[in-house]
Amino acid sequence: MKLSKGVLWLSSLIAVLVLVAVSTSIFFHASGVPIHFVTVRGEHATYQGSGLYAYDPASVAREGIIWDVIDLCLALPLFLVALVFSFRGSLRARLGLCGLLFYFFYKYMQYATMLAFNQMFLVYVALFALSVVAFFLTLPGIEVARLPEHISARFSRRLFIGFALAMSAALLLLWVGGRIVPDTVASRFPDDIAGEATLVTQAFDLGIVVPLLLSTAILLWRRSAWGYLLASISLTFGFIMCVTLPAWIVVPLVQSGQINLVEAAPFALLCLVGLSLAWRFFWSVQEENALPPREMTPVRSASDGKKKLHVHVKESS
């Protein structure tokens, strides 16, 4: 089924707003110098002092600019390609489009709630709101019940389940066990994010990403068709994040030679696995015209003795 014109225009508007948001971040260079400030908690924080993220901590501004560059160079082009091929009826593109809409929802809801108020605030709100609407309008075009038929044996269901559980465990251990609980017990705020109000990234990861991964793993384990849909969303979202996270690790390492290896190393390793899984999943998706004919066998009805055709579909493993 082709994408409706309504979703096409709505997604086109999302693409324009993403371009406006990331271009303003990357190319808007207002004059200024870093701002050194002592917070109400007594933390010594350094704010960016210039550009769109002038009143955000320098570390947050750096990560925001890196994220925006990746969106401009990778996420936005992929979104446009997925949009064009979805309109032409490609299932692979439709699945990728849903995942990218989820990604834009995640990112810009985080921007709207984490960043200091700036000129793009309404754009952030519009982006996460429109992404939700476009996401749910895109779903009816996917025959979820038949989705397992379109996934070939190239995609390892068990490998993805293991990856989803490992990533969930890493997020829980690093954020809850390695940061939130120790800092709560010690009544302190993490020094590396001094100047922020709270742990927004950790809240999004624990409240959105972990439940998504666990739900996908459980549904795939049960061989549910919805598990394959959630896998496509998780892997598309994960593909962009698996490019972004190493960039967040490498840039501070190059600039200052400092990085939190305890947090960085597990994510870097899992990112390599995630990129490989995303490639294998979308490579395994078969379009409707590439599927072999379904087997039709006559079955005699006990009530009227007439023969009826029943369709037998082999379930994907």
**Domain containing 175: what range?**
5-288
Residue 15 resides in a domain: yes
Cα 196 from Cα 133, distance rounded (Å):
30
190 belongs to a structural domain? yes
Name which of 61, 66, 34, 38 is nearest 118 in CA terms. Answer: 61
pLDDT number for residue 265: 67
Highest mean pLDDT of the ranges 37-41, 280-284, 302-306: 280-284
| Helix extents (H) in the chain | 5-27, 58-70, 76-87, 91-114, 121-138, 157-171, 181-185, 200-204, 210-221, 225-256, 261-284
Q: Is residue 145 part of a domain?
A: yes
Closest to 70 measured CA to CA, from 256, 258, 271, 262: 271
> Can you read off the two tokens belonging to residue 83?
């949009």
φ, ψ for residue 44 (rounded to 5)?
A: -95, 105
Q: Which of 222, 243, 169 is nearest to 251 (CA)?
A: 243
Gap between the Cα atoms of 149 and 142, Å rounded: 13
Structure tokens at 24: 């303003």
Domain count, the chain: 1
Give pairs for 183-189: CB < 8 Å, separation 24+: 189/41, 189/43
Measured in Å, how far apart are the chain's first and last C-alpha atoms? Answer: 25
Amino acid at 298: P
**What span, in angstroms and rounded, lies between the C-alpha atoms of 107 and 100?**
10
pLDDT at 210 over 80: yes
Average of per-residue pLDDT across 123-137: 96
Average pLDDT score over the chain: 84
Give me the pLDDT at residue 252, please: 63
Between 91 and 259, the higher pLDDT residue: 91
E strand or H helix at 302: none
pLDDT for 155 equals 87
- 91-105, 120-134, 161-175, 190-204: range with lowest mean pLDDT: 190-204
What is the spatial distance between Cα 54 and Cα 70, in angstroms, rounded to a whole number?
20
Residue 314 lies in a domain: no
Mean pLDDT for 104-130 is 95
> 264-269 long-range CB contacts below 8 Å, 24 or more apart?
266/170, 266/174, 267/170, 267/174
Instruction: Give the residue among 93, 119, 146, 26 at the shortest CA–CA distance from 282.
Output: 93
How far apart are alpha carbons 121 and 108 in whole angstroms? 9
Q: Is residue 309 part of a domain?
A: no
So what's the pLDDT on residue 295? 44
Q: Is residue 312 part of a domain?
A: no
216, pLDDT greater than 80 = yes
Q: What are phi and psi of 57, to 5 degrees?
A: -55, 145
- pTM equals 0.84
Could you tell me if residue 303 is inside a domain?
A: no
Res 190 pLDDT > 50: yes
**Is residue 226 included in any domain, yes or no?**
yes
Round to whole Å and give the CA distance between 249 and 254: 9
